[in-house]
Structure 1
């Protein structure tokens, strides 16, 4: 067969495959999703048995070490492993990915005795992992295996085996790693989230590790965005409404906080209060006769998106942040919108 004839035959094969796949694309996609859901359900069921017990041991092993989690794998398991290492690192568990081939060419030196190795291999017979596994055994470095075959070379060598069920790939030939990669990924996420919760990893620490992007905006606190000091619209409770109106016009928050002798916030005057009490004598009226007592407040460490939820729920546009009852800042809905809190 000439090269041109071979090329024509290959093009025809690709065209035929495309034609077949184009028919019922929605049904084919739905079948793939359903197979993935079925695979996840099988993993969930396995948690009632040996997988759940091994999962607990793996969590305790990682929490008990003073080092890092070294994640490794090759092929699709390697891609899943890279994602898992990144998720662990961003949620309070020191972790990084070591490629098994690079490990055999010097990167084993990145692994310390107090680390834990987490190796992913669907078959458990990945030859490229052999040097990494041998290194872990030689120096008694804890080894956790994620595989479908506990009786494999990797499974037998590991201290803890997270044995996944044999699932049907969504590939029609049951060959391309699809459902298997999905459950590896889901198990890895479950491990990362469990470690996150067991470590007491807070949203503030999460923000420290995620300083950029939309996620960072969602993790900003009230303290990051509020206006404090002389920018707060405040009057004492013995003030007259004439002073309140001047303060409200100067600060433009649509409200004025009222403080007592000890500096605590005892009330607030809003545009609504003004409309309800408007009259010829308003300017000479003491503020305590107009203000709303026990105003809505929040703490400065609260997340900004929680402040937005509060404003939406209570139908207000500004709120004071207080510490020990004393105002330390004021937050307006426009501050949240400018920061990308939506």
Structure 2
């Protein structure tokens, strides 16, 4: 007989019962996490100090569901300034112990504290001199007793009504791992810039690492005309450089103003303007928004959004025009 309910039986399940079940799980797991707060004591501090003093890496390990949580904790530690990676305890006994050096600190997860694969490698870790931090649900377990520091992540009950599937216990272990990672992050003075450097491909990395000089148009690609240029000459420059604007500069390339597509539309509304003989300096915007080459690209996005403009000129410390960019450059760089 199949252990799975038939489609008809599943269809008969009360919707309200599903909602009650979900809320009961969340309530139980929330209570378990709150209970951990009362256990943040000297042991937690000692665990943090062991990892802060570690000259190697933090080796996270565990079997089954605890192994999945250990993998996530290792990833969180690594991305927040604490070098870490996961080692499978079963594979460790078959050669992967060579991945662990004497200076490493081991963070071992086991709800029972009696996981055979972990207990098997304890003597080897002790002989290598590795400091051991254990996260278990049983303070008197073998793993807890052999650890330099034990963090109690016990829970009153699993959210699984059968009391079998690791649910509340893995949530508690994951939360304790996050608590360790964030405490270490703050102790190290880890900043958002540090985080971005380890996430260069992510949205945050692009926002915090990408500078104006990385995406701006420079050299001959910068649209600019001299102050004696006519409107027609300015229009040719705007069309040629395709940035929807041109800088108006003096003989030293210092910015005098900007003339944009928007200015052109307003100019065309004035039938008295002679495009061939009117100098662009008489119609340009004299106080355009600008940005420096070393500023963040996200700052350019903020300027454009705030002032409802589509482009910016890039100036050096002497107000010389060294670059230009528009909203399309930010879109291509996935800054916005």
8 Å contact 2:54–2:103 — kept in the other structure? yes
Hey, what does 1:93 align to over in structure 2?
82
Offset of residue 219 of structure 1: 6.3
Question: Under a length normalisation based on structure 2, what TM-score does the superposition of the two structures give?
Answer: 0.80
Matched, 1:229 2:219: yes
Query: Secondary structure in 1 aligned to 2:247?
Result: strand
Offset of residue 77 of structure 1: 0.8
Offset of residue 239 of structure 1: 4.8
Offset of residue 126 of structure 1: 2.3
Query: Secondary structure in 2 aligned to 1:293?
Result: coil
Change (3 A) 1:16 1:237: closer
Change (3 A) 1:55 1:336: farther
Q: What pairs up with 1:84-123 in 2 under 5 angstroms? A: 84-123=73-112
8 Å contact 1:244–1:287 — kept in the other structure? no
CA distance in 2, matches of 1:161, 1:175: 24
Structure 1 residue runs of 5 or longer lacking an equivalent are 1-7
CA distance in 1, matches of 2:230, 2:187: 54
CA distance in 1, matches of 2:54, 2:6: 54
Offset of residue 218 of structure 1: 5.9
CA distance in 2, matches of 1:215, 1:191: 23
Matched, 1:185 2:179: no
Structure 2 residue runs of 5 or longer lacking an equivalent are none
CA distance in 1, matches of 2:184, 2:255: 41
Change (3 A) 1:62 1:12: closer
Hey, what does 1:27 align to over in structure 2?
20
Hey, what does 1:5 align to over in structure 2?
none
Hey, what does 1:253 align to over in structure 2?
243
Hey, what does 2:126 align to over in structure 1?
137
Change (3 A) 1:339 1:128: same
Change (3 A) 1:268 1:200: farther
Question: Under a length normalisation based on structure 1, what TM-score does the superposition of the two structures give?
Answer: 0.78
Change (3 A) 1:105 1:300: same
Change (3 A) 1:198 1:313: farther
Change (3 A) 1:211 1:297: closer
Hey, what does 1:4 align to over in structure 2?
none
1:102-127 CA-partner distances (Å, limit 9, x unpaired): 22233222211111111112232323
8 Å contact 2:193–2:208 — kept in the other structure? yes
Matched, 1:75 2:64: yes
CA distance in 1, matches of 2:160, 2:141: 24
CA distance in 2, matches of 1:237, 1:195: 57
8 Å contact 2:25–2:159 — kept in the other structure? yes
Query: Secondary structure in 2 aligned to 1:102?
Result: helix
Change (3 A) 1:285 1:168: farther
